[in-house]
């Protein structure tokens, strides 16, 4: 362990899930149910959130953890931060772990921001003197000094994240674990936080970072693991992990064509999603969507379509509620979605389409794919560095107002 911050051997986490039936929530209900069926035993099935995961993380490494929803990323982080215990396997940690897994983790809502800083430090085993030495730096970085003596239950989600991240990053823990909560903060704070995590890794501490944003992982991390349905598929360089992740898109899309294998209640199912195969960046995008009927479904429903780039990053979300479109489930529906003024960058893009009421009725990820041709929608040609950053192109212009 001298050169290794984290060592994971045959790590597995399983949960018991009830197959069917509602558990009684009152004593009288439980007694009546037992009297009617004295020998009945509730049936459970085992869900393997993680299965036989092995890897080592050296000191000073910034490790990205990537994968689809349900791949086991957050479960792995909770195991490494000792929030939950593994079902099998071994974890060796070379030092104290500071974590920020969700908004408000580790904060007591009735305590002030000032009191929560000391509480978090105490939970990490730090003395009051150690915390006081970093206190001013924590407050300055978070930018919430005006509200330091206000109970954190009155904080906005953004203020929560700013203070919680600042505490986790500045208190002297050897390992820093961050889930994808920085999306709550503003762009300036995200940039500052990423730089702070880089500095943490340069100081010889270890950073674990879970994200769906491939650009952030590429910018921050020095290595990455790719998880798929609880299995460790790849551990190596960020680029290799990203390549393995992108290559999984086509396999995943093929599986999703079978409606029975898709998430959602199944009360309604998408039957067709089609988009143009090849297009220029500045072209309009037209998507044909067809949904089956279900006369027994009560109430109208809406659609939400996500356009993703080849890293899996959501470029834009088109929710039908925003334009007042609600659909009648009593008859089949055919809908055309037209997206204007979206200058997509060259490369492969995919569409995720969701049918929703209060919950998700059908979720078809990777429902369609299309290619954007490598044409620049600008009047001048530039070297690659002039268009390499950002998720989309933008329609912009410069004007000068100085004296000639």
For 280-308, what is the mean pLDDT?
Answer: 92
CATH, residue 346: 2.70.50.60
Domain boundary among 248, 278, 306: 248
Q: Are residues 241 and 284 in the same domain?
A: no
What are 286's two structure tokens?
């037209």
Q: What is the pLDDT of residues 52-64, one digit of tens each?
A: 999 999 998 889 9
pLDDT of residue 271: 93
pLDDT at residue 389 above 80? Answer: no
Q: Are residues 214 and 351 in the same domain?
A: no
In a domain, 383, yes or no: no
pLDDT of residue 288: 94
Name the more confident of 136 and 391: 136
Q: Are residues 55 and 202 in the same domain?
A: yes
Strand pairing report for 285-291 and 270-275: antiparallel
| Distance (Å, whole) CA 216 – CA 286 | 30
Strand pairing report for 278-279 and 360-372: parallel
In a domain, 125, yes or no: yes
pLDDT class of 363 with cuts at 50, 70, 90: very high
Q: Domain range spanning residue 278? A: 262-376
pLDDT of residue 87: 93
pLDDT of residue 102: 63
pLDDT class of 326 with cuts at 50, 70, 90: very high
Q: Are residues 304 and 362 in the same domain?
A: yes
* Beta-carbon-side half-sphere exposure of residue 11 (alpha carbons within 13 Å): 29
pLDDT of residue 305: 96
Per the DSSP assignment, residues forming a β-bridge with 13 are 50
Q: Are residues 284 and 239 in the same domain?
A: no
Q: Are residues 55 and 167 in the same domain?
A: yes
In a domain, 25, yes or no: no
Name the more confident of 8 and 99: 8
Burial class (CB in 10 A: 0-12, 13-18, 19+), 99: buried
For 299-324, what is the mean pLDDT?
Answer: 91
For 10-32, what is the mean pLDDT?
Answer: 73
pLDDT of residue 66: 87
Name the more confident of 212 and 49: 49
Please tell me the total count of domains within the chain: 2
Q: Are residues 278 and 189 in the same domain?
A: no
pTM of the shown model:
0.62
Q: Are residues 125 and 225 in the same domain?
A: yes
pLDDT at residue 80 above 80? Answer: yes
| Distance (Å, whole) CA 295 – CA 387 | 50
In a domain, 161, yes or no: yes
| Distance (Å, whole) CA 236 – CA 242 | 10
Q: Are residues 241 and 266 in the same domain?
A: no
Domain boundary among 248, 279, 307: 248
Q: Is 180 strand, coil or helix? A: coil
pLDDT class of 19 with cuts at 50, 70, 90: low
> Which of 237, 175, 236, 159 is CA-nearest to residue 208?
175
Q: Are residues 77 and 192 in the same domain?
A: yes
Q: Are residues 204 and 348 in the same domain?
A: no
pLDDT at residue 204 above 90? Answer: no
Q: Are residues 306 and 238 in the same domain?
A: no
| Distance (Å, whole) CA 272 – CA 270 | 6
Q: What is the pLDDT of residues 230-253, one digit of tens each?
A: 899 999 998 888 888 877 766 666
Domain boundary among 225, 248, 271: 248
pLDDT of residue 316: 92
């Amino acid at each position: 362990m001298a050169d290794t911050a984290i060592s994971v051997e045959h790590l597995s986490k399983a949960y018991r899930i009830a197959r069917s039936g509602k558990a009684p929530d009152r004593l009288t209900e439980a007694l009546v149910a037992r009297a009617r069926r004295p020998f009945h035993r509730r049936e459970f099935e085992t869900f393997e959130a993680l299965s036989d995961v092995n890897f080592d993380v050296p000191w000073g490494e910034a490790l990205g953890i990537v994968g689809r929803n349900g791949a086991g990323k957050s479960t792995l982080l909770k195991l490494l931060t000792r929030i939950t215990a593994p079902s099998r396997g071994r974890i060796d940690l070379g030092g104290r772990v500071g974590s920020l897994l969700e908004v408000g983790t580790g904060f007591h809502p009735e305590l002030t921001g000032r009191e929560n800083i000391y509480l978090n430090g105490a939970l990490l085993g730090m003395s009051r003197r150690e915390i006081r030495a970093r206190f001013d730096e924590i407050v300055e970085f978070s930018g919430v000094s005006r509200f330091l003596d206000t109970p954190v239950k009155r904080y906005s989600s953004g203020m929560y994240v700013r203070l919680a991240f600042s505490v986790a990053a500045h208190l002297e823990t050897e390992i820093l674990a961050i889930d994808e909560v920085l999306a709550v903060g503003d762009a300036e704070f995200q940039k500052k936080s990423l730089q702070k995590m880089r500095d943490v890794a340069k100081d010889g501490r270890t950073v674990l970072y879970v994200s769906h944003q491939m650009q952030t992982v590429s910018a921050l991390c020095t290595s990455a693991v790719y998880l798929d349905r609880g299995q460790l598929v790849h551990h190596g360089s960020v680029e290799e992990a990203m390549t393995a992740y992108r290559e999984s898109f086509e396999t995943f899309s093929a599986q999703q064509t079978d409606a029975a294998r898709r998430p959602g209640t199944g009360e309604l199912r998408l039957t067709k999603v089609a988009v143009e195969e090849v297009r220029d960046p500045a072209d309009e995008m037209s998507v044909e969507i067809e949904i089956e009927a279900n006369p027994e479904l009560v109430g109208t429903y809406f659609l939400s379509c996500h356009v993703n780039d080849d890293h899996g990053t959501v470029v834009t979300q088109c929710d039908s509620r925003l334009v007042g479109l609600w659909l009648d489930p009593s008859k089949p529906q055919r809908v055309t979605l037209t997206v204007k003024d979206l200058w997509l960058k060259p490369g492969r893009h995919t569409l995720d389409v969701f049918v929703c009421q209060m919950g998700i009725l059908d979720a078809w990820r990777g429902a369609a794919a299309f290619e954007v041709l490598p044409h620049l929608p600008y009047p001048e040609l530039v070297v690659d560095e002039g268009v390499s950053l950002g998720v989309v192109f933008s329609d912009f212009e410069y004007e000068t107002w100085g004296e000639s």
